[in-house]
Amino acid sequence: MLRMKFVGFKMIFIIALSLLGPVVNSKETSEFKLPTNFNPVSYELYVDTYLEDNFMFDGVVGIRMTCIEATDTIVLHSNSLNIDTESVVVVNGFGFIFPVDSISFDPKKDLMYVKSTENFKPGDKYVLTIPFTGNITDQLAGYYKSSYVDKESNQTRWLAVTQFEPADARRAFPCFDEPAYKATFKICLGHKKGLTSISNMKLMKQTNSPSKPDYVFDEYEESVPMSTYLVAYMVSDFVYTEANRGYDQVKFRIISRKDAANQTELAINLGPKVLKYYEDYFDEKFPLQKQDMAAIPDFSAGAMENWGLVTYRETELLIDLDVATVDNVHGVAEVIAHELAHQWFGNLVTMKWWTDLWLNEGFATYVAARGVDYLYPEWNSFQDETVQNFLHVLDLDSLQSSHPVSVAVGHPDEIAQIFDTISYTKGSFLLHMMNTFLGEDTFKQGIRNYIHKHKFSNAEQDDLWSSLTEEAHRQGTLDKNLTVKQIMDTWTLQTGYPVLKVVRDYSAGTVTLSQERYLTIKSNGTDNKSCWWIPITMKTSGDLNQTNAKFWLNCENNNLTTPLAKDNEWVIYNMQMAGLFRVLYDTRNWMAIISTLNDPTKYETIPTLNRVQLIVDSLSFSQVGDIDYKITFQLLKYLKHEKEYAPWLAAIHGLGPINNLLKRTPKHAVFQNYMQRMLSSVYSKFRNMDVNINGFEDIHFKNIVTAEACSHQIKDCTQQALDLFRKWMKIIDPDNNNILPRELKPVIYCQAIKCGGVDEWNFLWERYQRSNLGHEKENILFALGCSSRKLLLHRYLNWSLDSSIIRKQDASTVFYYVAKNNAGYSVAKDFLYRKIADISEYYQPRGDHVGRYVNVIGSQMKTKEELEEIQSFINKSSGYLKGADLVINQTIETIKRNTEWTSKFYNKIVNYMVQ
């Protein structure tokens, strides 16, 4: 599943919406897991869907299962379903009815107990049949409803669709709702004539209902073995766009609203190509005969990889290529590639338990970047992905309250909270790191062996390590005395990441390497317990360039001294930023690096990705007091002749925390002036908004520089945006004739709304209501939160909790955009404090959504008084924050970090910026 992303000054930073949170006091115990007495083999599921009247469903499920251990009780999952307990039947393998003594439920654990007067026998087969009914809710989980307005008739149309990951299949039918319980599914869907249904497999036949003349039954082929969270079905009046059958025998369709069918061209073109790429990459055929991809108007996440029926938020699948930005195209390509990668990693081979969620999400994220690179080789997007991942993981994983990649979880609330940056982005980066030190051939073949061995089954982290080790030993790319498990367990089972400390003895011609965990709030004493296997690669000013790991820094040799020629002015470690760690040099080495960087003829002797790391590391080390800010600001001076996008992205990202901590303080003006000076040379290159730029990186470069220039009030940037926007306002048909440069629309919208008034806001709101394009609506939602008018922002936040005005899927996004706006912060904070009960009720049963509201407010706090204020709010509101404890703990630690920085550096930082 792809979690939605916030785009914080829209095109600057991509920050996972599911923010990093700690996992505390969590044990993967049997308390929340099913007993192992039964194994489901197959399901027969019949569901009737009733739309537009009472929004409910009814059905019956027959579960064929094998008894593994003697017991008198079948335990399975059920949540929010009405069960006709009198009609629950158990039949044994001989067709005899087995006596049912009682049916009971444990709502806190979502469990249903079917107790018999006799013992079920190990090895015997049984069929459990359960009739059920339920409501088609608007909770965006389980079997839920969505709607849209049909343009032709101006009428509201309803549909019903499933979203079961991680633990919501139990809201749609009683089942063994854990990933290890794979079974086949034969699904039959009843619905009104005039509507159509789809499910994971191909439709076999449709028959008229004997009891309801206006209803039909759609019967689907039996599925391959799969976990319950991958079951999917939908009833709607959507239309189908089918790809040309050039690709083997797989039938490929995009399913959407009729009014959006003209936005399916990109998806129908990319989908079959990337599916074929994965077949070749994994050396494993796609096992189904069809692949549907459906665009859903209301969708909580970004997309969901259900086998044979991938569901998407509209913005992640549909696109109008006539008006789309490069970012839009990249975003859709990336999400399609992510979900189709899951068909192998997640669907074909599934983790045994959510502890190894990263095997699904980390792999899909990593392989999606490879897939996009295959589709658009001219973009160099894999480097961009590497930089983005590096930046965000290092930021979020530097908290004591982070959690390991492979993390013990129990209660469903905990499961939902680990769909975060650690599982997705850190998991992806660690795979990139492995690919680098094992080599492409070993890595790819090891993955193939893993898939071949465990297909249609379940696996865990150690199974992957085993396959990679065997292949690495076979190819000779890893020492026979070393295993992938030895190395990688240190990265996946421990929280955080290391800092590699580099201290040179210039007279002796040696360098000493050591490591410790990197934390933004220093713990009492050094954290000596943590230790990683760090691949050592390096480059010197004397042209020594070791890009393959020659040796490892590990727990056995954690203080390693090696020779280094005296005439090397500097040494740099972690070539091409391939390892997930920071590097801290001694002052003399920093100054030698800075001297090279500040020479326009020499700075490119340091590779681009290492320039990125030097920027982000120096800013981070200064933030925690490991090096003086004076060194960092001397390093940043070199940017005046930096021509590449990635280092500028790193600098703007790295300066973000300073901006955040000086916002709404008297000293913010000094930071604004510093940014204006720093940006002046590069902004002059991109100054004219009307000039179109070509090329993926250059477009991103112009976008980020322009957004920063406007944000930091470079006058002609804001004026250009206002002039262009007001010119657009005067166009006769602004919806079909948007004259703004397409790549800069988000920046222009935001600046016009920020500096404009009610007229500009209302004009853009009208465009939102009239637009049929998901990406355009997303840009507008962002921009409307940029207003400086508090009354407008207050009204906007109230509208966000009314799904008839703003879709529920977008509510937390609206709050985020308002809260990140200087003028909107106090409005958003007040809204959260007053409306917490309403916000919590709106998102039931998903408490983790509420945590996002607290996080965006708390992460901007920086004083002890503010910390006490939000802690008091959290204590008073604890009943409304159930299921958000992970992100709440992270928020508190972030405020403590901010407070510490403010007390140390607030009065000093300006001295470095005025030089």
* Residues carrying an active site annotation: 339
Tokens of 39: 């194994």
With beta carbons less than 8 A apart as the criterion, state whether 86 and 97 touch: no
* H/E segment holding residue 20: none
Residue in 693, 713, 727 with CA at minimum distance from that of residue 788: 713
3-state secondary structure 710-737: HHCCCHHHHHHHHHHHHHHHCCCCCCCC
Q: What's the rounded Cα separation, in Å, for the pair 156 and 369? A: 38
* Distance from C-alpha of 232 to C-alpha of 185, rounded to nearest angstrom: 10
3-state secondary structure of 789: coil
Number of C-beta neighbours around residue 726 at 10 A: 14
3-state secondary structure of 305: coil
Per-residue burial over 417-435, b if 16 or more Cβ lie within 10 Å, else e, is bbbbbbbbbbbbbbbbbbb
**Residue 63 forms beta bridges with which residues?**
43, 128
E strand or H helix that includes residue 131: strand 125-135
Judge whether 46 and 190 are in contact, CB under 8 Å. Answer: yes
* 520 Cβ neighbours under 8 A, 6+ residues apart: 398, 399, 620, 623, 624, 897
Q: How far apart are CA 552 and CA 538, in angstroms?
A: 12
- The CB density around residue 58, as the number of other CB atoms within 10 Å, is 17
CB 194 within 8 A of CB 131: no
∠ CA 227-427-527, rounded to 5°:
125
- Give me the residues paired with residue 499 across strands: 516, 582
What is the Cα–Cα distance from 14 to 392, expressed in whole angstroms?
Answer: 8
Quote the tokens at residue 635.
């390093």
User: Is it true that the peptide bond before 210 is cis, omega within 30 degrees of 0?
Assistant: no
Euclidean distance between CA atoms 805 and 290, whole angstroms? 36
Residue type, 882: K
Edge-to-edge strands, sheet with 71-77: 71-77, 111-120, 100-106
CA atoms within 13 A on the CB side of 478: 30
Neighbours of 721 (CB within 10 A): 25
773: helix, coil or strand? Answer: coil
Hey, CA dihedral for 139, 145, 150, 155, is it positive or negative?
A: negative
CA distance linking residue 396 with residue 416, whole number of Å = 18
Give the whole-angstrom CA distance, residue 897 versus residue 301.
Answer: 30
- Give the DSSP per-residue string, 606-675: S-HHHHHHHHHHHHHHHHHTSS-HHHHHHHHGGGGG---HHHHHHHHHHHHHHHHHHTTSTTHHHHHHHH
Four-point Cα dihedral 509, 515, 518, 523, nearest 10: -110
**Per-residue tokens: 375:** 């589709």
Helix/strand/coil for 31: helix
Q: Where are the alpha helices (DSSP H) in 161-282?
A: 265-282
- Partners of 226 in beta bridges: 183
Terminal-to-terminal C-alpha distance of the chain:
48
Residue 106 has φ and ψ, to the nearest 5°, of -125, 90
Residue 76 token pair: 């399975």
